[in-house]
Amino acid sequence: MKPLLKIKNKNKEKKEKFLQSILVHLETKKDLKKFSKLIAIKIQKNKDIIIEQKFNIINYYLKKFTQEQIKIKKTINQENTAIWKKYWKEMPEYNQKDKWPYKTILIHFLNKESIKYFGKITKNTINKNTKYIYYPKIQRDNLSNFRCISDPIFNPKYPIYIISKGRWESRLTSKSLEEMKVPYFIVIEPQEYNMYIKVINKNKILVLPFSNLGQGSIPARNWVWEDSIKRGFKKHWILDDNIDGFYRTNKNQQYKITNGNVFYIIEKFINRFSNIGLAGMHYRYFFPKRTGSPPFYLNTRIYSCLLIDNSLSFRWRGKYNEDTDLSLRILKSGLCTILFRIFVCNKITTLSMKGGNTEEVYGNTNKRLEFAKSLVKQHPDITKIVWRYNRWHHQVNYSKFRKNKLEYKKGIKAKLKDEINEYGMKLIKLI
């Protein structure tokens, strides 16, 4: 059989400008052999291959970091698995398998003809927004008609606050909680009261005694903290205003939740321990369904959807990376943080919506360098500045906090049974 593709001079790669790049995930060794046969080139482990089709050019190489990345992820997962199973008692079922691809190949295309040709031979639909495909093509489950409901329904014990600014039209988090029939407060600045009251019950609106301070959400967050204490609560939830729904993860699928049990179950778990300062839900888009990992991670940063212990001596500070800063101060004090993955929030990507802190915090920055510098100044012992994805980031070493261990409240551990408790949750298919 004459090869469809032939090896091209590797030195020419640097001169090429790619129209599009796509990841090809291969789930098994058998799939890799099949793909190799399809393109008529023997793919060797961790070796760059540059090839040319007879009427157009395709350039591809094995992702060198794939095996090392999987090795690191497996190590992390093994560590967390050893932790979570001894604590996850009388909690909902969680069965998440590692379905990372056996190999991943990155393919660069120079023209539309090569993209069309490649889609044809792999039997995949490829458009300008395609970031990856699986070979052979996999059938995706349609979960849009499934919901995770509960009977009975348990609403959260602690108050939920939404910090909102300039988003009375979108109000994604508010709409999500309304749909779930979960009580909440939305905290706004006085100049926007007349806009929010048109779309939200006035009894749910709390008006701040200040406005446009130029400090992002920090003053509002600290005001919320004190308000929850005045109301007599030991903890409080604080949510960003761009969360479009909450989901349960199990058996490598994610199902939309229709009620407040998600908050209640997290509260029940947290209240078993005496040394958790901060907890929250992971972002849905940071937790692919195919990832095998525990239902929660210990001692890391918590963002956007937080349950805070009101007895902490800390308060929000600064202007940038306030979530990371608070998490680190809590961890440095010897307390624990918990980031849940069995329940995740569908947080919309920062800067993709109008309103919020777009101007006060994200506007006029040097590719977010100010963000990274701020955290390095606050925590120089464990933080450094790195360049990734065409902007500056902070990188935090959380390994020193592995020594922070969960501590049961007196008498709790002995009462817990090693069994599943769904708290009334079940999966249904909508008609």
Domain range enclosing 191: 146-359+404-429
User: What is the mean pLDDT of the segment spanning 216-237?
Assistant: 97
Clarify whether residues 237 and 169 are in a common domain. Answer: yes
pLDDT of residue 288: 74
Clarify whether residues 306 and 377 are in a common domain. Answer: no
User: What is the mean pLDDT of the segment spanning 250-260?
Assistant: 94
The reply to whether 39 falls in a domain is yes
Predicted confidence band of residue 30 (pLDDT cuts 50, 70, 90): very high
The reply to whether 91 falls in a domain is no
Which has more pLDDT, 88 or 58? 88
The reply to whether 225 falls in a domain is yes
| Res. 222: pLDDT tops 50 | yes
pLDDT digits (tens, 9 = 90+) for 148-159: 999 999 999 999
Whether 49 and 7 have beta carbons less than 8 Å apart is answered as yes
The reply to whether 114 falls in a domain is yes
What CATH number should be reported for the domain holding residue 233? 3.90.550.40
User: What is the mean pLDDT of the segment spanning 263-286?
Assistant: 96
Q: Which of 76, 105, 134 is the last residue of a domain?
A: 134
Clarify whether residues 339 and 261 are in a common domain. Answer: yes
Clarify whether residues 424 and 348 are in a common domain. Answer: yes
pLDDT of residue 106: 75
pLDDT of residue 3: 38
The reply to whether 382 falls in a domain is yes
User: What is the mean pLDDT of the segment spanning 239-256?
Assistant: 95
Q: How far apart are the C-alpha atoms of 197 and 218, rounded to whole Å?
A: 23
pLDDT of residue 301: 95
Share of the chain above pLDDT 90, in %: 59
Clarify whether residues 344 and 199 are in a common domain. Answer: yes
Clarify whether residues 353 and 371 are in a common domain. Answer: no
| Res. 240: pLDDT tops 80 | yes
Our count of domains for the chain comes to 3
pLDDT of residue 65: 37
User: What is the mean pLDDT of the segment spanning 19-24?
Assistant: 82
User: What is the mean pLDDT of the segment spanning 86-105?
Assistant: 88
Whether 89 and 418 have beta carbons less than 8 Å apart is answered as yes
User: What is the mean pLDDT of the segment spanning 160-170?
Assistant: 96
The reply to whether 267 falls in a domain is yes
Clarify whether residues 37 and 101 are in a common domain. Answer: yes
The reply to whether 77 falls in a domain is no
Clarify whether residues 61 and 185 are in a common domain. Answer: no
Predicted confidence band of residue 166 (pLDDT cuts 50, 70, 90): very high
Clarify whether residues 373 and 272 are in a common domain. Answer: no
pLDDT digits (tens, 9 = 90+) for 127-152: 989 988 999 988 766 778 899 999 99
Clarify whether residues 307 and 393 are in a common domain. Answer: no
Clarify whether residues 355 and 370 are in a common domain. Answer: no
The reply to whether 337 falls in a domain is yes
Clarify whether residues 207 and 295 are in a common domain. Answer: yes
pLDDT digits (tens, 9 = 90+) for 387-406: 887 888 899 999 999 999 99
Predicted confidence band of residue 354 (pLDDT cuts 50, 70, 90): low
